[in-house]
Amino acid sequence: MNPRAINYLLVGVWLLVAVVVIAYPLRTGKIRVGLDPVSRTSAPIAFWRAYIISTALFLALSVAAGVFVRSILQ
């Protein structure tokens, strides 16, 4: 498999995971914090805090994984 095909495959997988991590809580209005679900309507501050932390961690890990994969493929 050539490196370009691997890049496209990884970007596709990343997009699917990004939709689940970033868009799903916004769509449903719920996010899980530990074992407890937090609702956007009942606890908006807790929801947005958890959402921002979750999104920031996901993006930071995505950048780190991208740098790692790029170093392997080059």
Residue 54: inside a domain: yes
**pLDDT tens profile 14-24:** 999 999 989 99
**pLDDT tens profile 33-73:** 889 999 999 999 999 999 999 999 999 999 998 899 889 87
Residue 17: inside a domain: no
Kindly tell me the number of DSSP H helices and DSSP E strands found in the chain.
Answer: 3, 2
How many structural domains are present in the chain? Answer: 1
Q: Which residues contact 22 (CB under 8 A, 6 or more apart)?
A: 55, 58
The mean pLDDT of the chain is: 90
* Listed residue (62, 59, 63, 71) closest to 3, CA to CA: 71
Q: What is the pTM of this model?
A: 0.80
Residue 44: inside a domain: yes
Domain that includes residue 39, residue range: 24-74
* Listed residue (18, 57, 58) closest to 10, CA to CA: 18
Residue 10: inside a domain: no
Residue 53: inside a domain: yes
